[in-house]
Amino acid sequence: MYLVTVLGNLLIILAVSSDSHLHKPMYFFLSNLSLVDICFTSTTIPKMLWNIQTQNKVITYEGCFTQMYFFLLFAGLDNFLLTVMAYDRFVAICHPLHYMVIMNPRLCGLLVLVSWIMIVSLFYGTSLGVYLSSAVTQSSHSSATASVMYTVVTPMLNPFIYSLRNKDIKSALKRLLGMAAMKGPIFAGLKKCT
């Protein structure tokens, strides 16, 4: 599931960056969401996989604090980017003739920057106290199931939900994968020549 998450989101980033038809605000936000989803899952899943492999559930205080910081940072950033994407769609639907004027590159960059500045400020403002001082007792099985759902399943499904149902992304991926398939035989032919 982790590999599907990383590869699916990387494909979205590559498709958006390589296809000039997708250099629009909607896809700019989508590629940022894909990057955040990769970072979000990468803060906890590698350690979890290591713990499962070694049967060792120990983490240092500094490691836990660092992991929680980045986990909350990317979780909050994910939420803010979804909000920005909703605003983008609102402008596209309610003000279609003014869409490109309103959603100019400067505003898009500013919205992403504000999203980043807000998972840092909220982390220090509220999340630190809530997550470090809470002593809620739950069963470890239900906690683990809930953790897997929001740390692995949701980021894994985001490329499918937001991208693969979109015809522009589908055609960009086909072109991207077509170029990769074309390069394969070329490189194989070059190796035979040398």
Which residue is associated with the tokens 């700019």?
A: 28
Provide the 3-class DSSP secondary structure of residue 104. coil
Contacts of the segment 84-89: beta carbons below 8 A, 24+ positions apart = 84/29, 84/111, 84/112, 84/115, 85/26, 85/29, 85/30, 85/33, 87/111, 88/25, 88/26, 88/29, 89/26
Q: Tens digit of pLDDT for each residue in 166-184?
A: 788 878 888 888 776 666 5
Classify residue 55 as left (phi > 0), alpha (psi -120 to 50) or beta. Answer: left
**In CATH, what number does 2-133+140-193 get?**
1.20.1070.10
Residue type, 79: N
Q: Is the pLDDT of residue 138 over 60?
A: no
Segment 42-77, tens digit of pLDDT: 998 888 888 888 888 888 889 888 998 898 889 888
Domain residue limits, the chain: 2-133+140-193
Per DSSP, 66 falls in state H
pLDDT per residue over 88-125, tens digit each? Answer: 999 999 999 998 899 998 998 898 888 877 766 655 55
Give the global pTM: 0.70
Give the pLDDT confidence score for residue 82 in this predicted structure: 87
pLDDT tens figures, 7-23? 988 988 998 898 888 88
